[in-house]
């Protein structure tokens, strides 16, 4: 998901396989997500492999070239007093893999910067929210009350972002999220919040067009969990599917559920072409397993909350053939090499985004933007390429250009 020299070639090679789809970021009331697109899940032998990058109309778009991306090392001549940026997200809990992906991506960027610039050392301070909005409201004051922190990567999930955005806004602390995708987050009037990937109002329609267009699905069951992420993405999906969304087999589950017989009975009775699950991998894995056991032949489809090796590891062969979307892209080859060397595991969903966002914050610091107001102003006016995409934000904190990736499990 980070920089790769071969990213553009990969997108072109896969263009003939898939021209439409999406991938979104997770933001939920509890939990986190992580995915290593293109990497094998531990012990499963399966891979979440990239198919294509698309725009909101389902048209294929060539991925950004790694060589053009902003490099955290810079020219190695930066000078600055020791400065601190923070990361907040789920580092423990059922969905911690997602938060860990983000932390590691940001840490890799910081480490590369510090190694190349001995006279400008930047520290990354991490805060575990467990992906829980209530816990996040306890963590947020710790962040804003630490005067050394001039910028924040996070929060990771939508629910915790919704609960804490006002706190960061009041403190004037720039907050760049690598993963929170609920569309309403930018409707709050916050001046400090910037989303580093497409929101679910982009992902939902893109995935819907892929299912009904490229894949030719005519009947889709939409199942959602009760998180801000799950509810928001399901709404966008259902509206975009139109008549293809079968209300007779739509349903709701709760975060933490592991037994789905009630909703599975509705699905098997409807005999759909596809099931779209709007939620996280911790529930998606047993749902996919139980659907297979019940004899359903529907294609299992889900968003970025499921796009993690933990989905394939936990669901096993039941995950084979699943289609997963994400506003996040696959890691470029050099980024993947550097990440695996540093953390002894493959990069996951949002790792590249976190790397890019940390790099943007550090670039501002090296250019002398070392107070909260200065760094906020720098991000608001920033425009430039990263490993994942071009970064430029509207006044509300949305990217001016949003693209989606589609993956399959094989």
Contact assessment for residue 23 and residue 324, using Cβ atoms and an 8 Å cutoff: yes
Q: What is the pLDDT of residue 66?
A: 67
Residue 370 Cα to chain centre, angstroms: 28
> Rounded distance, CA 252 to CA 242, Å?
19
Exposure string of 353-378, with b = 16+ CB inside 10 Å and e = fewer, is: bbbbbbbbbbbbbbeebeebeebbeb
Contact assessment for residue 323 and residue 273, using Cβ atoms and an 8 Å cutoff: no
Q: What is the pLDDT of residue 30?
A: 33
Q: What is the pLDDT of residue 58?
A: 63
Name the phi and psi angles at 31, rounded to 5: 105, 170
The domains located in the chain, with CATH, are 66-198+332-406 (3.40.50.2300)
Q: What is the pLDDT of residue 27?
A: 34
pTM, 2 dp: 0.81
For 120, the token pair is: 């400008």
Q: What is the pLDDT of residue 52?
A: 78
> Rounded distance, CA 34 to CA 106, Å?
14
Contact assessment for residue 110 and residue 86, using Cβ atoms and an 8 Å cutoff: no
Sign of CA dihedral 198, 322, 408, 3: positive
Strands 404-409 and 323-326: antiparallel
| 112: number of Cβ within 10 Å | 20
Report angle CA 325, 333, 60 to the nearest 5 degrees. 40
Tell me the per-residue pLDDT of 102-138, one tens digit each, with 9 for 90 and over: 999 999 999 999 999 999 999 999 999 999 999 999 9
Residues of the chain scoring pLDDT < 50: 1-43
> Rounded distance, CA 239 to CA 88, Å?
32
Give the strands of the sheet with 220-224, arranged side by side.
48-54, 404-409, 323-326, 299-302, 274-278, 220-224, 251-252
Tell me the per-residue pLDDT of 41-72, one tens digit each, with 9 for 90 and over: 444 589 999 987 777 766 677 776 666 889 99
């Amino acid at each position: 998901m980070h920089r790769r020299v071969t990213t553009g070639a990969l997108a072109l090679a896969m263009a003939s396989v898939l021209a439409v789809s999406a991938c979104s970021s997770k933001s939920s009331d509890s939990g986190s997500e992580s995915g290593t697109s293109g990497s094998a899940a531990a012990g499963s032998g399966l891979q979440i492999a990239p198919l294509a990058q698309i725009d909101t109309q389902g048209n294929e778009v060539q991925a950004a070239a790694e060589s053009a991306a902003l490099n955290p090392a810079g020219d190695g001549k930066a000078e600055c007093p020791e400065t601190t940026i923070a990361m907040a997200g789920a580092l423990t809990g059922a969905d911690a893999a997602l938060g860990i992906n983000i932390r590691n991506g940001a840490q890799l960027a910081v480490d590369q910067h510090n190694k190349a610039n001995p006279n400008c050392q930047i520290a990354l301070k991490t805060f575990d929210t467990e992906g829980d909005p209530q816990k996040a409201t306890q963590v947020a004051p710790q962040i804003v009350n630490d005067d050394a922190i001039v910028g924040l990567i996070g929060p990771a999930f939508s629910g915790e972002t919704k609960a804490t955005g006002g706190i960061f806004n009041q403190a004037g602390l720039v907050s760049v999220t690598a993963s929170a995708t609920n569309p309403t987050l930018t409707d709050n009037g916050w001046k400090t919040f910037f989303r580093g990937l497409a929101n679910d109002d982009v992902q939902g329609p893109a995935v819907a067009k892929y299912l009904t267009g490229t894949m030719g699905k005519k009947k889709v069951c939409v199942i959602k969990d009760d998180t801000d992420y799950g509810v928001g993405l399901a709404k966008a999906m259902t509206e975009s599917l139109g008549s293809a969304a079968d209300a007779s087999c739509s349903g709701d589950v709760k975060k933490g559920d592991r037994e789905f017989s009630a909703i599975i009975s509705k699905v098997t009775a409807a005999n759909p072409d596809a099931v779209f699950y709007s939620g996280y991998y911790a529930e998606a894995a047993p749902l996919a397993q139980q659907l297979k056991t019940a004899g359903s032949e529907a294609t299992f489809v889900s968003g970025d909350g499921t796009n993690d090796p933990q989905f394939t590891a936990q669901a096993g062969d039941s995950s084979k053939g699943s289609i997963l979307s994400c506003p996040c892209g696959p890691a470029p080859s050099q980024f993947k090499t550097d990440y695996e060397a540093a953390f002894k595991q493959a990069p996951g969903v949002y790792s590249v985004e976190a790397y890019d966002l940390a790099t943007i914050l550090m670039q501002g610091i090296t250019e002398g933007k070392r107070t909260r107001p200065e760094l906020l102003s720098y991000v608001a006016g920033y425009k430039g390429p990263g490993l994942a995409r071009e970064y430029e934000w509207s006044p509300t904190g949305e990217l001016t250009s949003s693209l989606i990736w589609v993956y399959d499990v094989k």
